[in-house]
Amino acid sequence: EPEVTQTPSHQVTQMGQEVILRCVPISNHLYFYWYRQILGQKVEFLVSFYNNEISEKSEIFDDQFSVERPDGSNFTLKIRSTKLEDSAMYFCASQGRGRIQETQYFGPGTRLLVL
């Protein structure tokens, strides 16, 4: 069964460093998302991506964040200068056609720890 994959599973970084989180969505999906979950809290939307551009972003997704789909398979989230409060689990999700009834398939997540 197709699945969303994410690498790395864990990342530890120093405050101020750049990190890139990678995702490989399900191959025929068209809509891609990043969410984050601070430990013990709810899952929060960061950004959605469709047709090679950002379709929606939340207040959390400020200028420190960027996304791209460099090669038609990978979908990356870059945090330019990490802060302590960026420590969280980051989930990538993909969806086929964007219809309301379609579920989003989540990757296993990348646990980011900023020291």
Partner 1 sequence: AQKITQTQPGMFVQEKEAVTLDCTYDTSDQSYGLFWYKQPSSGEMIFLIYQGSYDEQNATEGRYSLNFQKARKSANLVISASQLGDSAMYFCAMREAYGQNFVFGPGTRLSVLP
Which one of 19-27, 64-72, 77-85, 87-95 is the stretch in contact with partner 1 (CB under 8 A)?
87-95
Alpha-carbon distance values, 20 to 2, 63, 82 (Å): 23, 15, 11
Is there binding between residue 94 and partner 1 (CB under 8 A)?
no
Among 15, 16, 56, 115, binds partner 1 (CB under 8 A): 56
Is there binding between residue 38 and partner 1 (CB under 8 A)?
no
Contacts to partner 1 from residues 3-32, by CB under 8 A: 31
Alpha-carbon distance values, 78 to 34, 41, 65, 70, 82 (Å): 11, 22, 6, 12, 10
CB of 16 to partner 1, least distance (A): 26
Bridge-based pairing of strands 43-50 and 53-57 is antiparallel
CB of 87 to partner 1, least distance (A): 14
* CA–CA dist 54, 33 (Å, integer): 10
Name the 3-class secondary structure at 82: coil
What residues make contact with partner 1 under the rule CB under 8 A?
Answer: 31, 33, 35, 41-45, 48, 50, 55-56, 58, 89, 91, 93, 95, 98-101, 103-109, 111
